[in-house]
Amino acid sequence: MAAASSLHAAAPAATPCRAGITSTPVARSVRVATAAARPGAGRGRLVARAAVAAKGDAPSCAAASNSDGHELLLFEALREGLIEEMKSDPTVCVFGEDVGHYGGSYKVTKGLAEMFGDLRVLDTPIAENSFTGMGVGAAMKGLRPVVEGMNMGFLLLAYNQISNNCGMLHYTSGGQFKIPLVIRGPGGVGRQLGAEHSQRLESYFQSIPGLQMVACSTAYNAKGLMKAAIRSENPVVLFEHVLLYNLKGKIPDEEYVLCLEEAEMVRPGEHVTILTYSRMRYHVMQAAKTLVNEGYDPEVIDIRSLKPFDLHTIGNSIKKTHRVLIVEECMRTGGIGASLRSAIIDNFWDYLDAPIMCLSSQDVPTPYAGTLEDATVVQPAQIVAAVEQLCQ
């Protein structure tokens, strides 16, 4: 009985979402899985229109971004969200290499040391294992640290702290400790940065219990996800793509916070569901222009939440299109696409009219040569060919 009580107390901390909804990192997946397993669900079955995102429905984030606002580059949007949270909550602090007076390797923390002082914006030695562990300890004692990895690949040096401590301490302490920690930094295939600086660590981190993962792709969702991650009671890894930092977008003047567990409907469509995230969102949208000219109507969803998946939004789309293409920059073996494909098969098999297709990066170290680097990553022409094959 005591053991059962301890396990119950160690349940994941609740995460605030839009419209006052609270959920745990697994609550949405469990709820949707139960609904999708109902008896009588068959291939080609008509679905009530209310259960599907209608083509005329405006995505919530698009609606907000159409209001009066100001334009920022993506890295500036991350910085603005971080500043707002540091001003409103004195427990928010930043750790990392060169995050202080240098302003961070991609200037996300530029000017923060002057605003908040060296104790809240702490320059650390080149020791990822040490300052990530310090972030975990600070979170256990009531602070809300934001740990910056100068490059996501460097955080492999802190894998022990992230997996054995950051993700598990809430559970192993019987719920005595919360770990409201954000780990963020640049990653992905850049412009000839070589194999060690072109890592996609989503696949490394996705199996760690207790860890949430999100990936930003626009200035709007970068700021909203940054603020939500800082406010979360769970440890959150925020993936930022190195090639998207200078992407410009409109930010509302009023405060907003996004849900960490919600996907974004980028383009409603009828013929095929394309699931993607981060930089590949733009490859998919480039391919979508060609597909529309060819008479196809793809529905594009930026999943944003890499763990847990928003199976509610994904499922509604599959019930409408009955075909799925996953496009990712992560490695094919053990990547996000593999996990997403498995979740779709488990929950929405009866709605599929064709095998799920997944386009991923090749399982090779990223080459330095530019032409070879491009060859390892999914390109728009491959996406067009995949949709044509799916819709035959």
In the listed set 221, 252, 283, which residue is the last one of a domain according to the structure? 252
Distance CA 115, CA 121 (A): 9
Q: Does residue 219 share a domain with residue 96?
A: yes
The catalytically annotated residue of 80, 97, 197, 240 is 197
Q: Does residue 271 share a domain with residue 235?
A: no
The H-assigned helical ranges of 71-111 are: 74-88
Q: Does residue 300 share a domain with residue 230?
A: no
301 within domain boundaries: yes
Q: Does residue 270 share a domain with residue 248?
A: no
Q: Does residue 289 share a domain with residue 185?
A: no
User: Looking at the predicted structure, is the pLDDT value of residue 6 above 70?
Assistant: no
The catalytically annotated residue of 128, 262, 264, 329 is 128
> In this predicted structure, what is the pLDDT of residue 17?
59
Active site residue 128: yes
Asked if 119 and 100 count as a contact pair (C-beta separation under 8 A), the reply is no
Summarize the chain as % helix, strand, coil (round to 5).
40, 20, 40
At residue 175, the 3 state secondary structure works out as coil
Q: Does residue 279 share a domain with residue 247?
A: no
Q: Shortest CA distance to 267 belongs to which of 247, 284, 250?
A: 284
287-335: pLDDT as tens digits: 999 999 999 999 999 999 999 999 999 999 999 999 999 999 998 898 9
Query: Average pLDDT of the chain?
Result: 85
285-299: pLDDT as tens digits: 999 999 999 999 999
We report the CATH number of the domain holding residue 227 as 3.40.50.970
Q: What is the CA radius of gyration of the chain?
A: 21
Q: Does residue 196 share a domain with residue 334?
A: no
Out of 57-66, 260-269, 280-289, pick the least confident. 57-66
Q: Does residue 87 share a domain with residue 203?
A: yes
Q: Does residue 231 share a domain with residue 299?
A: no
* Assigned token pair, 164: 């054995």
Question: What is this structure's pTM?
Answer: 0.83
Q: Does residue 363 share a domain with residue 247?
A: no
At residue 271, the 3 state secondary structure works out as coil
User: Looking at the predicted structure, is the pLDDT value of residue 239 above 70?
Assistant: yes
For residue 198, the enclosing domain spans: 69-252
Active site residue 202: no
Residue with tokens 């609270």: 22
In the listed set 189, 220, 252, which residue is the last one of a domain according to the structure? 252
Per the structure, the count of domains in the chain is 2
216 within domain boundaries: yes
Q: Does residue 285 share a domain with residue 186?
A: no
Asked if 274 and 321 count as a contact pair (C-beta separation under 8 A), the reply is no
Distance CA 214, CA 240 (A): 9
Q: Does residue 162 share a domain with residue 125?
A: yes
